[in-house]
Amino acid sequence: MKKNEPNDLFETALHSLKERSGEVDLSGFEHHVWSEIAIRDERGSWLQWLQGGRFLMPAPATAAVAIAAIGAGITLGFSQAESYGKQASLDLEQRYVESIHPVMMSANHVSNHTEH
Amino acid sequence: MRNLGLTVLLAALLGGIAYTAIFFWQKSRIDDHHAHLTAFEWFCEEFAVTGEQRAQIEALHKEYFPECEDHCVHYADTQHTLAKITNDPHLDNSPEHKEAARELTQLEKEADKKFIDFVYRIAGEMDTAQSQRYLQRMKGWLDRAVVAN
């Protein structure tokens, strides 16, 4: 009794291909070309788009896009940090007002006691 | 020559890195600056109060603080009493209930008056431009408090 007896269609097909492998006679170069084609076909479409798309950009344009993106990132970073700073300053302003307005001071004490 | 997709991806990555680096650098600077800042120090910094002016204004704050705190305690006690009365169905609409509510409203009015008097005293010690800005900002808080009540 043979080992690894094929038990489904896939196994049967694989077994058959292995038996026929001696019949395919490709030269080293052809074998290499077909291997490359097989690898390229298996790559995802998004990767194909990234690596082999039709729209090619010259190097200066690529550099300009990268610089613009960095510039936009820096501008947005400063702008968001400014908003954060304004909010932090407003929190301190609220603390200041709570220290000089009796009712707001009382509300602050109550909320602190509730939190603890 | 570079592929468009790769360029877009690279640009987005570089933009994201630049944004994250700048935002967290600035945030950490702001947090460090504000971490040990008291409310009074914030006031001095915000309204450019320095030197002798700062000493005079600090003295006014110190003088006012016990009065403000007494009023705060009185207000909190009255609020507590009113809450107890409100929760007691036998005292609903009783003279005690009406008296506590009237006292609370009176204390709120007095608190606003104390606050206004105090900010005007403080503004009197400041430079004209800064005092106008200070009064404007404090008025904003008072308006918000009125709306909230």
Q: Which of residues 103-142 of B touch A (CB under 8 A)?
A: 107-108, 110-112, 114-115, 118-119, 137-138, 141-142
d(CA B137, CA B149): 19
From chain A, the residues in CB contact with B78 under 8 A are none
**SS3 state at B86:** helix
Give the residue from chain B lying closest to A82, CA to CA: B26
Tell me: pLDDT of B118 over 90. yes
pLDDT for B69-89, tens place per residue? 888 888 999 988 888 888 887
Size of interface A-B (CB pairs under 8 A): 159
Cβ-based burial of B69 (10 A; exposed 0-12, middle 13-18, buried ≥19)? middle
pTM: predicted TM-score of the whole model, two decimal places: 0.67
Shortest Cα–Cα distance, A27 to chain B (Å): 34
Cβ of residue A107 closer than 8 Å to a chain B Cβ: no
Q: Is the ipTM of this complex over 0.85?
A: no
